[in-house]
Amino acid sequence: MSHQHPEEVKKAMSLRLRRIRGQIQAIERMVDEDFECTEVLNQTISVRRALKSFAEEVIHQHVSHCIEGSETQQQARKRLQELVTVLKRYVE
């Protein structure tokens, strides 16, 4: 299913993903350069938190733009059910 998101939202999301990509690349360098395991783990924790924050923003955007902006109640219910299904996997 394809739909449009506001440009400023897409730009902000892309920026977050570029930062996360940079963090992952830094972890890879740390492994290649034999950094202490605890330092690698600390950076891994930071990436995990960044991904969690990214996912939370995607959820927020989905609710505020995709579900609330649905053209019909039927479409909104379908999108909400899809979100519930995905969230069940997200919290596992």
Q: Give the mean pLDDT of the chain.
A: 93
Q: Is the pLDDT of residue 1 over 60?
A: no
Structurally, what CATH architecture does the domain formed by 7-90 represent?
A: Up-down Bundle (1.20)
SS (H, E, C) 13-71: HHHHHHHHHHHHHHHHHHHHCCCCHHHHHHHHHHHHHHHHHHHHHHHHHHHHHHHCCCC
Query: What is the pLDDT confidence band of residue 19, given thresholds at 50, 70 and 90?
Result: very high
Q: pLDDT at position 3, please?
A: 67
Q: pLDDT at position 5, please?
A: 82
Question: pTM for this structure?
Answer: 0.84
Q: pLDDT at position 90, please?
A: 87
